[in-house]
Structure 1
Amino acid sequence: MKTSWRSASLLASAAAVLALTTACGQDGGGAGASQNVGATAAPGDIGDIGAGAGDGLGAGVNDGRRSASPPASAGKLSVSADTELGELVTDGSGRTLYRFDQDTAQPPKSTCDGDCATAWPPVAADDAIAGEGIDKALLGEVTRADGTKQLTIGGWPAYRYAKDTAAGDVKGQGVNGKWYALAPDGKKAKAADLPGLSTRNDPELGEIVVDKNGMTVYRFMKDEAWPKPVSACDGACLEKWPAVAPVAADDTEGVQKKGLMSFTRSDGTEQQTVDCWPIYTFAGDEKPGDTNGQGVGGTWYAVAPDGKPVGAPKK
């Protein structure tokens, strides 16, 4: 009987390993011996993770400095139709107006000063005129740190984007995941809602996975998927490569369902996987369509619909 009990125990253990193997298969992309979920990279590995989050134009944190110049006049506000974003507000020159997620609407408050206000010039309130399609009752003003009056729409302080050089430009849309064109009601002008995970065709990388905001999703080659997901990105790494939060299987489109799961990281938070590989976004990607994280440090790659790293060297 003792021998039979041991045999049964061994069979049960083998079955458990087989179940994990079936759920989280290995594609040779860096899996090795099992570690604790959320294990950190070895000392010195952070240097391989990549550069910081862009040029800082979207940082937007009030650094205590005054705006370099007073807000530019708004003129007659209009409603323009964008093929991707729908209706959005433009100023008298046809320039797109934006709102910032770190501001508040109730009460109105601007947190963009100094370098931020240079990249995102505030719109003056004094000469704003409600044109066709603009509800005058939604127009207001907020007093900035330098004492100037800034236009608000639906309570949200309004800005232009310095990189918009022509009427109709919307280059500021989605920058750093915090800047959005203003809709006539003061809400964010944005494309139709995307699933939690879906795919898009990139002109250089082919079909890749994107998150609900259309941002490119990446894999870290030092992570593991077998026999269970293990993230090697913690601390400073996570600041540059935020983990993708769990997504329901029925809230995905075009992504392989096998190995589509979440796991608990060492810090207790949940992270999504594709084919059991942990997935991330990149802080250096400012807007949908950016792939600035591709190939960073030779360890970060966009994710194909089947979970494989796009463009990673074959082993």
Structure 2
Amino acid sequence: MSRTTQRNTPRSPWRSRGARLAVPVAAIAAAATACGGSAGSGGAAHRPAVPVAASSSPSTANAGGTIATAKVGNLGQVLVDGQGRTLYLFEKDQGGKSSCSGACAAVWPPVTTTGKPHAGSDAKASKLGTTTRSDGTTQVTYAGHPLYYYAPDGTTKGSAKGEGLNQFGAGWDVLAPSGQKVEKSGS
């Protein structure tokens, strides 16, 4: 009769279920943080990048969506989507093309559309446009700036947690109805 002997060595932490799940999450967080920048000279506090699954990314309505304006905190009138979610520009974008994909787009989801975007309250229809992203989706632009959400804002109206951050190699700012970036008072 053969008997299997059991080792008296402790089980490797890499073999536990929790550790197996933690490794990919930690790797994603490390990659996103490595891509992020530090606080710029504007004095904005650096917040680490927070990976968010692309499937939870907000987007404008399928047929085109609405870009409007709303008063957001001490920032004044800024661009929002039809549900009141704050929109941002990325200072690294050039020539109306997005420079944010992969881990960046997980934290800063692009505002996408399947049709022509519409101007809502105080947004200027003449400033609305679209650009084709590297993945083939259509991203909404305003005054030539591709538009983004900040995932930690979630679906909360009036949240602008991304204002003034420096992540993924450049700054992020909300936009005024003129298409110019808005910076916090005192920045």
Q: TM-score, normalised by structure 2?
A: 0.63
Matched, 1:178 2:171: yes
Question: Aligned-pair distance for 1:71?
Answer: 7.5
The corresponding residue for 1:72 is 59
Letter in 1 for 2:60: S
Matched, 1:129 2:118: yes
Letter in 1 for 2:36: A
Match of 2:180 among 173, 184, 187: 187
Question: Aligned-pair distance for 1:56?
Answer: 2.3
The corresponding residue for 2:100 is 112
Question: Aligned-pair distance for 1:119?
Answer: 0.5
The corresponding residue for 1:152 is 141
Contact 1:88-1:96 at 8 Å conserved across structures: yes
Number of aligned residue pairs: 134
Question: Aligned-pair distance for 1:186?
Answer: 1.8
Q: In 1, distance between residues paired with 2:126 and 2:111?
A: 17
Q: In 2, distance between residues paired with 1:94 and 1:158?
A: 14
Alignment of structure 1 residues 289-308 onto 2, 5 Å: none
Change in Cα spacing, 1:58 to 1:130, as seen in structure 2 (3 Å) is farther
Change in Cα spacing, 1:86 to 1:54, as seen in structure 2 (3 Å) is farther
Letter in 2 for 1:186: G
Match of 1:59 among 25, 28, 36: 36
Question: Aligned-pair distance for 1:59?
Answer: 2.9
Q: Which secondary structure does the structure 2 equivalent of 1:108 belong to?
A: coil
Q: In 1, distance between residues paired with 2:127 and 2:157?
A: 23
Question: Aligned-pair distance for 1:55?
Answer: 5.9
Alignment of structure 1 residues 1-315 onto 2, 5 Å: 56=33, 59=36, 68=54, 72-74=59-61, 75-104=65-94, 107-125=95-113, 126-165=115-154, 166-176=156-166, 178-192=171-185, 194=186, 213=187
Structure 2 gaps of 5+ residues are 1-29, 38-52
Question: Aligned-pair distance for 1:110?
Answer: 0.3
Question: Aligned-pair distance for 1:68?
Answer: 4.7
Q: In 2, distance between residues paired with 1:57 and 1:175?
A: 15
Structure 1 gaps of 5+ residues are 1-52, 61-66, 195-212, 214-315
Question: Aligned-pair distance for 1:76?
Answer: 2.0
Q: TM-score, normalised by structure 1?
A: 0.39
Tell me: higher relative CO, structure 1 or 2? Use CA pairs within 8 A at least 6 residues apart: 2
More helix by share: 2
Contact 1:123-1:159 at 8 Å conserved across structures: yes
Letter in 1 for 2:159: D
The corresponding residue for 2:13 is none
Contact 1:68-1:114 at 8 Å conserved across structures: no
Letter in 2 for 1:56: T
Contact 1:58-1:119 at 8 Å conserved across structures: no
Identity of aligned residues (%): 42
Aligned-pair Cα RMSD in Å? 2.8
Contact 2:32-2:104 at 8 Å conserved across structures: no
Q: Which structure has the greater CA radius of gyration?
A: 1
